[in-house]
A and B are shown apart, each in its own frame.
Chain A
Amino acid sequence: MRYSPALLDHFLNPRNAGLMQEPDGVGVDEYEGCGDLARFFLRVREGRVSAVRFQTYGCGPTIAASSAASERVTGRGVEELLSLESQEVEDAVDGLPDDRKHAAEVVAGALRAAALDALRRPRGGGH
């Protein structure tokens, strides 16, 4: 099988897909040359991610990686997210084929951008 069972499960039943009202941080990343785009919304309470929503445009692995990463970062400190690596996102879907590694990169990039946005807002992302 080209894709792992975990990836297929997240693709078929994406968790946390959709918009968020008044998010505390928003981040977008796009993969250059490819149409893939991910946008993450964070709700932050006392410096920690309390809820995540995402909107993703792209191939199946990008959608699945968005869903898996949204679960994985919930509850984590926002500052920690600034150094989120694509490898961790890839691990969350039990690996990606070589020609689909960009799925993890675009998701990690969007989550880092969302964390940075939350930290830069006047109330420091924790109100």
Chain B
Amino acid sequence: MSRRVYLDHNASTPVHPEVLAEMLPFFSEQFGNPSSVHGFGREARAGLDLARERVARFLAVAPEEIVFTSGGTESDNLGVKGLAWARGRGHLITSKVEHHAVLRACQWLEGQGFAVTYVGVDGHGMVDPDDVKRAIRPDTIGISIMHANSEVGTVQPVGAIGAIARVAGVPFHVDAVQTFGKIDLDLADIDALSFSGHKIYGPKGVAGLWIRKGTKMVSVQHGGEHERRRRAGTENVPGIVGLGKAVEVRARDMHEERRRVTALRDRLWEGIRARVPDARLNGHPTERLPGTANISYRGVESESVVLGLDLKGIGVSAGSACTSGNVEPSYVLVAMGAPLDWAVGAVRHSLGRSTTAEDIDYVVESVEPIVRKLRATMPVGVA
């Protein structure tokens, strides 16, 4: 079989064998509803409680502050809308490079009468904490800034932003979906944190929101008394058990892996830079997710590079989308001020625990002829 290399870990990751083993009994033997009083229910409840404890221990918070959800998108919606609705009206601050789950929730809230300031980023994709400070108004009721951007990997100064929010007395939500279990985060000045399972070798369809005790937050969906009435609906027990185990495994492995993956990420960029002319790295040179390298090939359309690499068995993702005849450069790169001919040629490589040096060398060797051939078919003057 020909070589296959998966460099799309920011999109999703394979479930870790230890995680899968822990989940399996909860599909069949321990299948009960954790809200039931009988023994079957209590078995499921025990799985749920253990997972909650594991996540809480990892974050160094109280277990009852954890709310499990169906995914990062739901966590972000609950974080942003829950904060806003609990205050009824007012002004929110977020950034232009947030995930759509936060951006579109904020846009929707604007339609409901809330005001939103979208702060910009610098050329590396970084928010300036002073911009957040300047955006604070007397009626500001919430700030939501991501920990790291999924496309370019830039890690935001959430510590400094949190300190500003704390002084101003404004609750601070952080979308940590891309960093949870990958890099450390100090929660001292944070009030709510979104995290997810399938970015850290847990299953899809399960995530969570940590809500600091005392933070006013209302539910987005209503029903039973689950999750201390903050998120109605029977818990996804096997998924939550998997998330809990994934977190435990990350606590054990993440620091060693961070060091290893960062070195591979840099090897990838150095290799490409040495071989492919007119290539550049998007995102912050150092304050960046360990496994993320977003690289632009000037004048080439990223989807063509993705297709070319796919035919070599390599999975990466395109930074621009050309659907139904409409080319859309990444809004993140646009916010960073990237020129259009660079922005449409952006390719994201995201590495993970299975990535090897041989994989990286194979990608480096594969990408050069693809970009060279694509450039050979280009009309002069378009680039």
Which residues of chain A have a CB within 8 Å of any CB of chain B?
3, 8, 11-12, 14, 17-19, 28, 31-37, 39, 54-60, 63, 66, 99, 102
| Residues of chain A within 8 A of B326, CB atoms compared | 33-34
CB-CB contacts below 8 Å: B93-118 with A: none
**How far, in whole Å, are A117 and B313 apart by their CA atoms in the complex?**
42
Selected from B301, B377, B382, the residue in CB contact (under 8 A) with A14 is B377
Q: Are B374 and A63 in contact (CB under 8 A)?
A: yes
The answer to whether A63 touches B304 (Cβ under 8 A) is yes
Chain A binding surface SS class: mixed
Q: State whether B324 touches A37 (Cβ < 8 A).
A: no
Q: Is the CB of B303 within 8 A of A59?
A: yes
Q: Are A18 and B378 in contact (CB under 8 A)?
A: no
Most buried by B among A18, A33, A34: A34
- Is the CB–CB distance between B377 and A56 below 8 Å? yes
Give the residues in chain A near B373, CB-CB below 8 Å: 14
Neighbouring A residues of B138 by C-beta, 8 Å: none
Contacts known (A12-B308, A35-B344); A57 close to B376, Cβ less than 8 A: no
Question: In the complex, what distance in Å separates the CA atom of A66 from the CA atom of B377?
Answer: 10
**B274 within 8 Å of A by Cβ?**
no
CA distance A100 to B325 in the complex (A): 7
Q: Does B311 contact A (CB under 8 A)?
A: yes
- With A59-B301, A60-B308 already in contact, the answer to whether A34 and B379 are too (CB < 8 A) is no
A66–chain B nearest beta-carbon distance, Å: 7
Tell whether, in the assembled complex, residue A31 and residue B379 are in contact, meaning their CB atoms are under 8 Å apart: no
By the criterion CB–CB under 8 Å, are B377 and A33 in contact? no
B1 close to chain A: CB less than 8 A: no
- B311–A8 CB distance below 8 A: yes
Q: Could you mark each residue 282-315 of chain B with 1 if its beta carbon is under 8 Å from any beta carbon of chain A, else 0?
A: 0000000000000000010101100110010000
Q: Are A58 and B379 in contact (CB under 8 A)?
A: no
A31 close to B377 (CB less than 8 A): no
* Interface presence of B37 (CB below 8 A): no
Nearest residue (CB) in A for B320 is A35
Q: Which of B303, B311, B344, B376 interacts with A12 by CB under 8 Å? A: B311
Asked if B327 and A57 make an inter-chain contact with CB atoms under 8 angstroms apart, the answer reads no
Q: Does B322 lie within 8 Å of A57, measured CB to CB?
A: no
A55–B374 Cα distance when bound, in Å, is 10
Asked if A37 and B379 sit within 8 Å, CB to CB, the answer is yes
Q: Identify A34's interface contact among B325, B380, B382, B383, CB under 8 A.
A: B325
Q: How far is A106 from B279 in the complex, measured between Cα atoms in Å?
A: 28
Residue of B nearest to A98 (CB): B324
CA distance A100 to B59 in the complex (A): 46
Q: Is the CB of A33 within 8 A of B325?
A: yes
Q: Which of B299, B324, B325, B378 has the most CB of A within 10 A?
A: B325
With both beta carbons as reference points, the residue of chain B lying nearest to A35 in the complex is identified as B327
Q: Which of A57, A59, A60 is close to B382, meaning CB atoms less than 8 Å apart?
A: A57
A11's contact among B308, B325, B376, by CB below 8 Å, is which? B308
Q: Which chain B residues in 362-376 approach chain A with CB under 8 Å?
A: 373-374, 376
Contacts of A33 on B, CB cut-off 8 Å? 325-327
- Tell me, rounded to whole Å, the shortest Cβ–Cβ distance linking B325 to chain A: 4
Whole-angstrom distance between the Cβ of B297 and the nearest chain A Cβ: 12
Which of A35, A39, A66, A102 makes the CB contact (< 8 A) with B301?
A: A35
30 example contacts (A-B, Cβ-Cβ < 8 A) are as follows A11-B304, A11-B308, A11-B311, A12-B311, A14-B373, A17-B377, A18-B377, A31-B325, A33-B325, A34-B322, A34-B325, A34-B326, A34-B327, A35-B327, A35-B382, A36-B322, A37-B379, A55-B379, A57-B378, A57-B382, A57-B383, A58-B304, A59-B322, A60-B303, A60-B307, A60-B308, A63-B374, A63-B377, A66-B377, A99-B323
Cα–Cα, bound, A58→B378 (Å): 8
> Is B379 a contact partner of A57 (Cβ separation < 8 A)?
yes
A28 CA to B327 CA, complexed, in Å: 19
Residues of chain B within 8 A (CB-CB) of A63 are 304, 374, 377
Residues of A close to B377: CB separation below 8 A:
14, 17-18, 54-57, 63, 66
Contact for B379 among A8, A12, A14, A39, CB less than 8 A: A39
Interfacial residues of chain B within 330-353, with CB under 8 A of chain A in the complex: 344
In the bound complex, how far is the Cα of B377 from the Cα of A54, in angstroms? 7
Instruction: Decide: B304 and A60 in contact? CB cutoff 8 A.
Output: yes
- A118 to chain B minimum Cβ distance, whole angstroms, is 18
How far does the alpha carbon of A66 sit from the alpha carbon of B8 in the complex, in Å?
30
Assess whether B308 is in contact with A56, with CB atoms less than 8 Å apart. no
Interface hub of B307, B373, B374 (most chain A Cβ within 10 A): B307
